[in-house]
């Protein structure tokens, strides 16, 4: 079948399959991630709002990005003295849960007065 012959329905199925492939097979548990985030709160805050200038804000961050970053710290592909030590102690499920938790935090921005 050529591209011209492929109906709209087939394209929709193909697009859905591509999107589904991008979604992690096992999503994290945000409630479990909140409990695990207690170890992160000194730098990143339990609410994901960093307490020290060197630490990034995690609240509202994309879970896929956070998972990738944590796995890279764990493997040594990303370098940071503190994060590498912390990430080495995290399982894949811990990482998914933490990522889901930080992504779930809603950020509210108020205009300046």
Q: What is the pLDDT of residues 54-81, one digit of tens each?
A: 999 999 999 999 999 999 999 999 999 9
For 93, list phi and psi in degrees, rounded to 5.
-65, -40
Residue of 13, 28, 51, 8 lying closest to 104 (CA atoms): 28
| Contact of 102 with 37, CB cutoff 8 Å | yes
What was the pLDDT predicted at 71?
A: 98
Between CA 84 and CA 87 the distance in angstroms is 5
pLDDT of residue 102: 97
Who wins on pLDDT, 17 or 2? Answer: 17
Which residue, among 101, 92, 96, 110, has the nearest Cα to 44 in the 3D structure? 101
Among 14-18, 34-38, 43-47, which stretch is predicted with the lowest mean pLDDT?
A: 14-18
**C-alpha radius of gyration, the chain, whole number:** 18
pLDDT at 25 over 70: no
């Amino acid at each position: 079948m050529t591209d011209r012959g492929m109906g709209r329905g087939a394209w929709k199925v193909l697009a859905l399959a591509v999107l589904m492939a991008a979604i992690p097979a096992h999503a994290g548990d945000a409630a479990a991630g909140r409990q695990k985030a207690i170890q992160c709160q000194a730098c990143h805050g339990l609410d994901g709002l960093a307490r020290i200038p060197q630490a990034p804000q995690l609240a509202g961050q994309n879970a896929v990005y956070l998972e990738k970053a944590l796995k890279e710290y764990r493997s040594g592909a990303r370098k940071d003295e503190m994060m590498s030590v912390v990430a080495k102690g995290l399982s894949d499920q811990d990482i998914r849960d933490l990522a889901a938790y930080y992504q779930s935090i809603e950020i509210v921005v108020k205009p300046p007065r």
